[in-house]
Amino acid sequence: MRVDGVLRGRQARRAALATLTALSLGAALAAPARAQGQGPAQAPAQAQVLPDFTDLVERVGPAVVNIRTLERARAGNGNGRGGPEMDPGLEEFFRRFGIPLPGRPDPRRGPPGGSDEPQQRGVGSGFILSADGYVMTNAHVVEGADEVIVTLTDKRELKARIVGADTRTDVAVVKIDAAGLPFVRIGDVGRLRVGEWVVAIGSPFGLDNTVTAGIVSAKQRDTGDYLPFIQTDVAINPGNSGGPLLNMRGEVVGINSQIYSRSGGFMGISFAIPIDEAIRVADQLRTNGRVVRGRIGVQIAPVTKEVAESIGLGKPIGALVQGVEAGGPAEKAGIEPGDIITKVDGKPVERSGELPRVIGGTKPGTRTTLQVFRRGNYRDLAVTVAEIEPEKPRRAAQAESAPRAAAASPIGLSVSDLGDAQRRELKVRGGVRVESVEGAAARAGLREGDVILAMDNTEITSARQFTGLVEKADKSKPLTLLVRRGDQTNYLIVRPSGR
């Protein structure tokens, strides 16, 4: 009885163990099925990581054009073959596939017929803005061209007329005689985010409708006077210039314009002109044939953190006025070298590069209020914006031949008073001239002939006053000098010996 009971207990335990094993195995076998069932729900996330550009390219591709520029053959081509030198391997590739060499005559068109026969000058890209044939590209693509040929994706070749080109922004508009053309949609650059996927379509080395992709690496790159560029890692090469940079909605957000390269080829950094800036330029080119910009007549530089802290500005914002054009709008408004322009019509100027864009976009004749920081205080000055024009040559102040009484300085400077003629020449009320430099002043970058206008926000009126201020200054703290050199004014930080 006891043995039989033990056997029955063992059999029961074995049965229970078998049941548990079956259940575990069933759950394990069911898990892959559940995972497979979850597959479609995860697909959108996968698609976001690896985007598909095919629909975008099919939709926008027909609005992207190849631009070929021609010029009359001229004697004196550097290599005797009508174009720039090229890597032999790349040149052989072009020949093998019958592709025209950039800057060389097109072999498919036969030999040149004489000195007046147009020769290929270069290739670029562009995109159609409207169905009636307005095309946007880079100014450098069409610069110096005698003829411009636009090739559509349906292989039609049409002569184009240059409507206008603006070299400051590198934007140009050309017109072809056609109707019912496919055209691009313009995107919102403000919605563009760093890390977002973008696509370029163009004609690198004349290879029509080549598609490359990458991400936005940075925005607001100040590499030009009037434009904050979009930086990407999209592959851009010669011939891509003027082509569109597209977001994932197929909208143009930029014009591919520049690359950073030490070899002449793509190295992972390319720049595009923001489309909102380009459209503003294009509208003026279509209306007036040129771009009208405002100016106030100042030379500017960035404000460093060290200077901002030393003069009481706090943080490095605004544009430091290094020079003021004689008789220009800024001088008439009372702006002086050494001023820091911090606002235009109440809008902050965060970086110096913003000022030319803001003033340049202001209609000439407009009365504008500038906030400037001067000698530790803010003040508002009204200036009437003029139309931009070529810079006038400026004369540097000439040293007078009259003898000066120099005063020595504890920081290694010998300075002297300015004569009346010098002050009139420099258009300054006071200041002292540097006669000799050594020690801490030399390390700070001061030179003989510099004119010191202010020290620690105190205007300098004489050599005696300057020397007294230096002697009374805290020797443990640096001195901030506002210095005029030629026609530019800047801040220099002088640290006593051992600091």
What is the set of active-site residues?
140, 170, 241
Q: Is the dihedral of CA 424, 428, 429, 435 positive or negative?
A: negative
Greatest alpha-carbon pair distance for the chain in Å reads: 136
DSSP 353: T
Does 239 carry a binding-site annotation? yes
SS3 label, residue 318:
coil
SS3 label, residue 43:
helix
Residue with tokens 């043995």: 3
Does 240 carry a binding-site annotation? yes
Query: First CA to last CA across the chain, in angstroms?
Result: 102
Buried-state track 249-276, b at ≥16 Cβ within 10 A, e below 16: ebbbbbbbbbbeeeeeebeebbbbbbbe
Does 170 carry a binding-site annotation? yes
**CB-hemisphere CA count at 13 Å for 140?**
13
Contacts of 133 (CB under 8 A, 6+ apart): 158, 175, 176, 177, 178, 179, 181
Does 241 carry a binding-site annotation? yes
**Tokens at residue 160, please?**
């184009």
Which amino acid is it at 116?
D
- The string of DSSP letters for 180-242 reads S---PEE--GGG--TT-EEEEEE-GGG-TTEEEEEEEEEEEEE-SSS-EEEEE-S---TT-TT
Number of Cβ within a 10 Å radius of residue 135: 28
Q: Which residues define the annotated binding site for substrate?
A: 140, 170, 239-241
Q: Which residues define the annotated binding site?
A: 140, 170, 239-241
